[in-house]
A and B are shown apart, each in its own frame.
Chain A
Amino acid sequence: MTAVNSENANLPRRRLLAWLSSVGLAGSAVLAVLSDLIFFKPRVTYGQPALFQIGKPEEFPPGTRIAREAERICIVREGNKIAAISTTCTHLGCSVAISDTGFACPCHGSRYDQDGAVTGGPAPKPLPWFKVSLAPNGEIEVDKNAPVDPGTYLIV
């Protein structure tokens, strides 16, 4: 191989160009992946809202234990205390049904007691309780983004 002078003179410049384009390509690939990740994570959702009102306390007389199926919560009223317990199974997300002893999941057989504590099956965690408050218009407001300790009630 005989080296041609003019070629050699071009080498550093060509190396620089190659280096710059590699950095440019790699950089844009990283940026593309990152922006895709951001893009795919929705900023608004269109489904069931997390904060909603369910009605006046009078609609839930003492002793009530009803599942609100669309919102996937169970409203419990004992005396003047009201609470909202999630009815989404902590195992894999099926809707649990109210049973004699508490809640039962049809999917893989998890069972919970009246307060949502696990009594059997593969569920790893108790059913969460959600914050319940009285809105200014007198309706009960449930916030599914605000879990509270089991046993936390709203006194009405």
Chain B
Amino acid sequence: MSTATKEPGLWNAIRELPSNVWSSAFRNPLPSTDLERASTSFTNFFLHIHPVKVNRHTLRPAYTLGLGLISTFLFVILVVTGVLLMFYYVPSTTQAYDRMLDLRGTVAFGIFLRNMHRWSAHGMVAMVFLHMCRVFLTGAYKKPREFNWVIGVGLFLVTLFLSFTGYLLPWDQLAFWAITVGTSIAGYAPLIGKQIQFVLLGDTSVGQEALLRFYVLHVAVLPAVLVLLMGVHFWRIRKDGGLSRPEPPAKTPEAGIVTMKKVYGMQGFVRGPFTKLGNTPDDSVFSWPNLLMAELFVLVLTVSVILVLSLAFNAPLEQPVNVMHPPNPAKAPWYFLGLQEMVSYSAFWGGVGVPGILVALLLLAPYLDRKPGGVGRWFARERLLANTLFLTLVVLNLIFVVIGTFFRGPNWTFVSPF
């Protein structure tokens, strides 16, 4: 029992309480040596997503443009503001629109939250798309990163579907008709199109059932899928040997490319180029503080831009749903206007055929283009053909988006915006 002669008394326990609580939560002081910097990735739950060291190339803003990070942080903003909005929103055809008005009129900061949610959602679609362009144009989808590209295509599609399901929730004219048109496109899929449409809507036309289904997809199912895919995405970045970078210039023999015969603990499982072993000269820096600071900077930048946008511009809200009178013209959200423009020529090709082929091409890209060269640089000369093809498709789609957005008036007739 009384073995401890110097057992701390109650008074001491109280006196040392704050520092003891603190040091039990944060086991290590802020790092001041390389060993301590390295161990941040091991000891801190939130930091252990980082490798101990990252290649300098990874940190160059001009390489990644921070686009993947920005997408991640926009998603965080969307989750936080979305959960707050859920406290006041009701997914009912009789109440949803009134709740939108309440967010404007009575809920404290309601309009601000709605603005943040809306602008982050638009931003995320744009940033994820640009991130995909950056990965393609730097050849970063090549071996061993093929599968992470495939995960990425999944992330892109889920992001689009998330924003599509969210579009219906305000239950205003814009929402109702955009979803009517959008789900009818699904009806053009061969054989099972009508079934898909019926299951998606829970009825033959957009109504209470569709609102409820879209709500559940929007606030529970799709975010969960996105989080899961993001987890795999980040994990694969680490396991694929960090971010893509150019082949290092041939080193002198003593610098030593490490062979897999000599395995240093867990590093034996890491594929791809090792960052550093022993005293070989290398080009990497500690994640703490280099990577962490870069991430914090992007976070602050993202949040600031969204805050400023949300102060300056209000998210639109049209008239409440009027099943009898579609607005003229009825337009989908801007990122689907390219599709809608194509749909106005042929519903099957614009809505199902062309998008299906494009998604298949995206998924297959890393397996079709397997030449190893040109990874880690923008617009590498070796990749001229692939990059040109990709950019052509991107520009074509953008042209359709611009036509659909600015050049289409009542009855979808051609109008000049000038």
Residue positions of A touching B, CB distance < 8 A: 37, 40-42, 45-48, 50, 67, 69-70, 72, 88, 91-95, 97, 104-109, 122, 124
Contact = CB atoms under 8 A, between A and B. Distances in A.
The 10 closest A-B pairs by CB, nearest first: A69-B324, A106-B328, A92-B184, A109-B411, A93-B184, A47-B207, A108-B344, A108-B412, A109-B412, A45-B203
A115 to B, nearest CB: 21
A67 B340 CA distance: 27
B195 A41 contact: yes
A111 to B, nearest CB: 9
Given A45-B204, A97-B325, 9 more contacts: A41-B199, A46-B203, A48-B207, A69-B324, A94-B181, A95-B323, A104-B411, A106-B326, A107-B181
Contact of A124 (B183, B327, B347): B347
A149 to B, nearest CB: 21
A37 B192 CA distance: 13
B185 interface: yes
B413 interface: yes
Contacts of A122: 343-347
Contacts of B411: 104-106, 108-109
13 contacts: A41-B199, A42-B209, A45-B204, A47-B207, A93-B184, A94-B177, A94-B180, A94-B326, A106-B410, A107-B177, A108-B343, A109-B411, A122-B344
Nearest to A69: B324
Tell me if A's interface is mostly helix, strand, loop or mixed. Answer: loop
B347 A91 contact: yes
B202 interface: yes
A65 B343 CA distance: 30
A48 B205 contact: yes
A124 B350 CA distance: 13
Interface size class of chain B, counting residues whose CB lies under 8 Å from the partner chain: 35 or more
Given A41-B198, A41-B199, A47 B330 contact: no
B272 interface: no
B342 to A, nearest CB: 10
Contacts of A124: 347
A21 B205 CA distance: 43
Q: Which of A69, A104, A108 has the most CB of B within 10 A?
A: A108
Given A91-B347, A92-B180, A92-B181, A107 B203 contact: no
B199 A93 contact: no
Interface string B73-87: 000000000000000
B326 A47 contact: no
A92 B185 contact: yes
B205 A92 contact: no
Interface in B137-181: 177, 180-181
A107 B208 contact: no
Contacts of A50: 204
B355 interface: no
Interface in B196-233: 198-199, 202-205, 207-209
Contact of B203 (A42, A67, A69): A42
A106 to B, nearest CB: 4
B325 to A, nearest CB: 7
A93 B180 contact: yes
B256 interface: no
Interface in B328-385: 328-330, 340, 343-347
Contact of A93 (B202, B205, B324, B344): B205
A107 B199 contact: no
B410 A47 contact: no
A108 B343 CA distance: 9
Contacts of A95: 323-326
Interface string B87-114: 0000000000000000000000000000
Contacts of B327: 106
B198 A93 contact: no
Contacts of A40: 199
